[in-house]
Amino acid sequence: MTAKSAVAYVLRKPPKDFDLSKNKGGRPAHHDGETKKAAIAVRTAPSVRDALKAAADENGRSITQEVEKRLIVSFEADGGQRSSETERLLAKFAAEIAEIEQMTGKRWHKDRKTAGAVLEMFRRLPNHLVRTDDPYDDEFVSRTWDALYAARQETLKLMEHLRDFGISPWEQSYMKGRLFGNSSATPRRPEGQLGGILGRLAGVADMDRRELGRWREREQLERLELPPEAKRHALALIELLEGADERELSANEAHSEAIAPYLQAEEEGRTLYRSSKRRAAEMAVARGDDFSISDLF
């Protein structure tokens, strides 16, 4: 081939079925109503370019196509109903998923172990992130919690003094396992969304006050061989402990009443979502479409 014929070959008109848009990095063919794409000069850190290249390779796109796709997705998200708070919440989820994938070395949508870790993250993380209308921002609720904390501290101190006399205070008291987990534990202000410890608070207030009373401690004292003065002192401590139990239960009742509107509001929201998913599932069943069995319950 002569030099002249080679130039003519390069400059020849491409065949009609030739489409540059099918080639990586190629300029898409221009059709009616389509404008020419504009180039944007962007400088990025090497780590960003490496991440883009890895994503592009995984998705079967060029880096340019990957950047364009991600820009389109980001603008579509901006045009939706998501608020900045929602964006921050989703970003936190994305960061947690990235950390999980780094631990397992696999993508969550391609590996069951990684998917399991993501499911566990979704089970735990939202309670710590969704802090809307935190009841402890309410001064009244906060005061009732402080009063409950102080009452519990008083009870713990009296129980410790009784142990000095060889008396084991009844650990399975009315608060055991219901509020603070262990009746000898120091209570902490609940963290995260309502549920867990807060969900148990309301139940404690409804308990029968007849459970109060330190008759077990009194029986222990009767069996102990102590000097009369020591017995009188121990009996006085038991009576003080009974009074402390009353104050603790009263403080918990006040706290439960204060926090009840928050518990009710959250439960209404949960019920609303469950009902919505159930209705959608029932409609899917009627149409013969796929649905999640869990949405029916």
DSSP the chain: --HHHHHHHHTSPPPTT--GGGSTTPPPPP-TTPPPPPP------HHHHHHHHHHHHHHT--HHHHHHHHHHHHHHHHTSS--HHHHHHHHHHHHHHHHHHHHHSS-TTT-HHHHHHHHHHHHHTHHHH--TT-GGGSHHHHHHHHHHHHHHHHHHHHHHHHHTTT----SS-TTTTTTSSSTTSPP----SSS-THHHHHHHHHTS-GGG---HHHHHHHHHS---HHHHHHHHHHHHHHHHHHHHHHHHHHHHHHHHHHHHHHHHHHHHHHHHHHHHHHHHHHHHT----GGGG-
Q: What pLDDT score does 184 carry?
A: 47
Q: How confident is the model at residue 43 (pLDDT cuts 50, 70, 90)?
A: confident
- 18 in any annotated domain: no
The parent domain of residue 248 ranges over: 135-269
- 106 in any annotated domain: no
Residues 181-226 pLDDT 10s: 444 444 555 554 444 444 445 444 444 454 568 999 999 999 999 9
- 195 in any annotated domain: yes
- 75 in any annotated domain: no
- 232 in any annotated domain: yes
Residues 132-173 pLDDT 10s: 778 888 999 999 999 999 999 999 999 999 999 999 998 644
- 171 in any annotated domain: yes
Q: Model's pTM, two decimal places?
A: 0.56
- 259 in any annotated domain: yes
- 177 in any annotated domain: yes
**Number of domain units in the chain:** 1
